Structure 1
Amino acid sequence: MGVITKVYSGIFFLVILNASAQISTSTGGTANVLANTPTSNTNVGIGTTNPTAKLEVVGSLKANVGEFSKTLPDGSSYADWVDRNKSSRVLNLGTLRDPLDEGKLLCFYDFPQSNIINLTKSAFSFQIDDRSNHTRFTMTAETGGSGRFQLNNKNQQEFLKVYEDGEDNVYMQLGMPNTHVVIGGYSNHPSSLVHKLFVQAGSAKIEGNILTDANIGIGTSNFTDGTDTYRLSVKGKIRAEEIKVYNTWADYVFSPVYKLASLKDVESFIEKNGHLQNVPSAKEVTQNGLELGEIARIQQEKIEELTLYLIQQNKDIEELKAQIKIILEKK
């Protein structure tokens, strides 16, 4: 028996040759090319005495121009894409799935510049198909240009593509409507069937802007309150250094046509209702909450009304003082 030494990751493995070998790389020339033995091993092995596949190669493989490797000149011209594929196919393995161009399940193409492919660039393409003649995996790249990795479903629909346009712009797209991305969990989690992007536990950080045309919920998925829909809905407390609200303001109080209620009417309203006019009651606030912009406007309205009352009272006081001064001067 002969012994060969195989080096893999710095560890030496000993492989013992036996009579089941098809082709051996040991010394001995044709004596090491053994016939098939149907009762023991009908596979073909190169560099191994016990091949486990129809062809198993242990060691490097170098192919020259021929049926296994082809080098075609740039500027080649083909009758059609079938002629191009046949001429440019370097590797063709598995079951025949496309009788038209004789393509099998696994193919590798080395496309030169031609009248079919982009005239300015050559390219390679590696693809794996299923037996229904549907391409399920594709990897292509142009020489000095773009590259693409793509996965398709059983209906030949793209569900994952990673694309680089040759200008350092990279895109990843998952175009199917029912696509779900799960991070930190598994696709059988209930929430992963509801949300397009599901991050289980952990945290997520985005250094750029977050833009949405829909609503944002924190601690809740409910965005409605009565007939109103809110863009931001939070279940819990909110802390901020500043909140800016855009709303109408109460300067209409200072308009000459504004009807300011008398203090007597104000007193009467308070005695009857227990709160100022146009101000929500405690019950309403408890049930419906407060709208910051609206309550700020109402409070400003009452401040401006109070200012008018003070101005009027000051006029009355000045008038009384003048009348008292006249009375005192007559004495």
Structure 2
Amino acid sequence: MDRREFLRNASWTAGLAGSAGYLAALAPTRQLQELGGRPAVQGADAPGATRSGDMIYRMLGRTGERVSAIGLGGAHLVNRLSTDETVHIVRSALDRGMNFLDNSQGYSDGESEVRVGKALRDGYRQRAFLMTKCDGRTRAAAAKQIDESLRRLQTDHVDLLQLHEVIRLEDPDRAFAEGGAMEALQAARQAGKTRYIGFTGHKDPVVQLRMLSIAQQHGIIFDAVQIPLNVLDAHFRSFGTEVLPILVRDGIGVLGMKPLSAGEIPRSGLASAIQCLHYALTLPTSVVITGCENMRDLDQAFEAARTFRPMNPEEIASLLARTRTAALTGKLEQFKTTDRFDSTAHNPQWLG
């Protein structure tokens, strides 16, 4: 089934699109002004949001968990870094109030989890909201990866466990099939290996909508979903337009990823890194996850939090107008248009 056929045949999209929040989000600038009849922006003065030091804290959907509005990405914690440098970055982030830590079983073949596990010794685990991901599509493969992640992270549980890279139209069906990965995630939660469950995807919003629909058919509402949200996304295969309103409507924690599009946006001169982070923070996100390959990157993330105020409609319109032409080709969001960022395409054995 190709994307066009899927959209034509998927009658359930009409139900999702019927919500006021979805219709309000069809225009990118309006998406930021209203979402389901309420303000979309989540500044420090938004309900449930607080500020302490240089960090903003928001609620993770309906979970009641208070998490840092900017989270530390795990994929960048090995690149050009020694183990000691990784430990220093992670502990510095936690010391300064960035409590949300992202990771995955496949990041640098598990080395990112190993290093974070070392960083979380000496009481640091208790200060972190720890998330990791598994890639297996079968129950057996996913369960094995979950246990291996816990061993590498040196913990008996994570706070959030997500099914990684739901990027193919068949991925939701595989995950929810008998003996599929969702059985492993639910079993992990029942066994106390995770408190919450979610999934991620970066390729096409239609896949995320299908995952949410099939989950609903099985009586499951995810605690969190991780999607790309940046100044280019509003114009091309937009997760912000198509998926974000559904997550907000259902009280699902929104984890925004790729706010800088792997650095392509600031490198292109379209927007600065701080502007990119402010844009993503202006959306109704619980956490915006950003990679930090050095202390300068970490300082930049805290500066973005410290100086953040929700962007007004005029600022948003100007930024989106500036990025529209570059965004429409998809070349600056290669995670949508190529397999460069598809770790399961390069490591199909992970799928099981």
The question of a shared fold, defined as TM-score above 0.5 by the shorter chain, is answered with no
Highest CA radius of gyration, 1 or 2? Answer: 1
Looking at secondary structure, tell me which structure has more helix per residue. 2
What TM-score, normalized by structure 1, do the two folds share?
Answer: 0.19
